[in-house]
Amino acid sequence: MLHVSMVGCGAIGRGVLELLKDDPDVAFDAVIVPEAAQAEARAALAALAPGARVVDRLGDSRPDLLVECAGHQALAEHVVPALERGIACLVVSVGALSEPGLADRLETAARRGHTQVQLLSGAIGAIDALAAARVGGLDEVVYTGRKPPRAWLGTPAEQVCDLGALTEARVIFEGSARDAARLYPKNANVAATLSLAGLGLDRTQVKLLADPGEQENVHHVAARGAFGGFELTMRGKPLAANPKTSALTVFSVVRALGNRAHAVSI
């Protein structure tokens, strides 16, 4: 059995717990949340993972795996120390690695702990193909993200246009993956993931649109190089509990945990 601790109990974390609550190969021992959110977390865990403790830090516990589902701050606060102790980690908030030096900190911590941090693909696919293409020679990667206007509420897009008054698609950002992840951290994890698998944060091109004609999160990736080329379009339904996040993000966490816990991995 795989013993797991999870950082975060928001929409993503609860979705993961719901899908794995009957899996005999995965046990959630602890859920790490700030003290102010612990009462709400305990209420959620009563039905989803009644055996899990609610704590504000990992402490002396040593799970088989630590899963981050809490946002960018959790990487420095919880993931880095766990890696230094030799605890393998899965990371959802890949966009946090746009922060200068943080990717190096994670790698250094993992090396010190003789363990590994896995960056999850989240809401996008073809990461395996993109990473393989980089080996053979990758020239260009362009990511276009299109979401309904409500998904951009609470972001710098509100300074670009009146999201509630849009009648046609509007470009709200165009630039590098590094800037996209910094300005839109809750929406642009996909751009950061693609850049880390491919050409890097500064060479990966990103365009983000608010589109009142869309009800889904639409991701388009175009890559070309010595390997040839590919294009991928994914239409991901947002989480009901958080329209900024694709439901596929939850499924990617569940898949990664299953690959660690089950007899067959794919």
d(CA 115, CA 35): 29
Residues whose CB falls within 8 Å of the CB of residue 79, separated by 6 or more in sequence, listed in order: 7, 66, 68, 89, 91, 106, 109, 117
Contact present, 196 and 97 (Cβ < 8 Å): yes
d(CA 65, CA 63): 5
Task: Indicate which residue of 72, 114, 219, 220 is catalytic.
Answer: 219
Contact present, 8 and 40 (Cβ < 8 Å): no
The answer to whether residue 187 scores a pLDDT higher than 80 is no
According to the annotation, is 37 in a ligand binding site?
no
Instruction: Say whether 114 is catalytic.
Output: no
pLDDT at residue 224, as a whole number = 96
pLDDT at residue 243, as a whole number = 67
According to the annotation, is 189 in a ligand binding site?
yes
pLDDT at residue 72, as a whole number = 79
pLDDT at residue 100, as a whole number = 83
Q: Which residue has the higher pLDDT, 88 or 93?
A: 88
CA-to-CA separations, 139 to 93, 145, 180, 258, in angstroms, rounded: 26, 20, 20, 34
Contact present, 244 and 212 (Cβ < 8 Å): no
Across-strand partners of 232?
221
Query: What is the full DSSP assignment across 189-225?
Result: HHHHHHHHHTT-TTTSEEEEEE-TT-SSEEEEEEEEE
Distance of CA 67 to the CA centre of its chain: 11
Percent of the chain with pLDDT over 70: 98
CA-to-CA separations, 49 to 17, 46, 63, 250, in angstroms, rounded: 7, 6, 16, 16
Walk me through the domains of the chain, giving residue ranges and CATH numbers: 2-119 (3.40.50.720), 127-245 (3.30.360.10)
The tens digit of pLDDT for each residue in 129-182 reads 999 999 999 999 999 999 999 989 999 999 999 999 999 999 999 999 988 888
The pLDDT confidence band at residue 244, using thresholds 50, 70 and 90, is low
Return the ∠ at Cα 11 (arms to 9 and 13), rounded to 5°: 40
The tens digit of pLDDT for each residue in 13-38 reads 999 999 999 999 999 999 999 988 99
